[in-house]
Amino acid sequence: MAEAERIIGTPDTPDDDHQQTAAAGAAAGAQAAGASGEAGTDGATGRQDPAAHKPGRGRRIAVLFSVAAFAYALDLISKMLVVARLEGRAPIRVVGDLLELHVIRNPGAAFSFGAAFTVIFSLIAAIVIVVIIRLARKLYSFPWAVALGLLLGGALGNLTDRIFRSPGVFEGAVVDFIAPKGFAVFNLADSAIVCGGILIVVLSFYGLDPDGTVHKD
């Protein structure tokens, strides 16, 4: 009998098969879970985690505030210089008759428009600043960081004038001094706002969102 069992062989028991199958299934599940974690997916739903594929938000935010700080500082320093050295004097020609430095106090919006709505423009600038800061939490695009930084720096520059310059808080007149021939007088903050706005239009035209995704209409 022993000799017959040796020749034929002892069959595997059902319990052994079950244990081997369970072990293999557990190993495969662990490998799948590891692959899912590396790919940035949710193991329960299989949905992709957007943040896993959008690194560098901190760098984009740093770019935004660096651009804003540079634009703001440039605007503030230029206004201090022209007020101290040029205000109350005859315009200075820079490029013949095409460009002059002519200091004026503007109670209106950019490029001297809307002088009767100083307080409203001040509130709008404050709202824009808050919206940009809140939007920074979802920012993953470098071009959008530059565009929003220009807007933020320009808005802060003109809002600083409206708060701290006469005749009063939120009613202060903005210092303008760049005077092209046949055009309104403006300042560097206005230029930053316009450049940031143009860049946003271009980015939107190409379907690039602030979160870094690209969509096609």
Q: Which of 15, 176, 209, 211 is catalytic?
A: 176
Strands, sheet with 92-95, edge to edge from the N-terminal-most edge strand: 92-95, 99-106, 174-180
Q: For residue 143, how far is the Cα from the chain centroid?
A: 8
The pair phi, psi for residue 104, each rounded to 5°, is -135, 160
Q: Please tell me the distance from the alpha carbon of residue 189 to that of residue 165, in angstroms, as a whole number.
A: 16
Q: Which of 12, 16, 190, 211 is catalytic?
A: 190
* 75 in catalytic set: no
* 190 in catalytic set: yes
Q: For residue 67, give the nearest of 1, 156, 162, 130 by alpha carbon.
A: 156
Q: Residues with catalytic annotation?
A: 176, 190
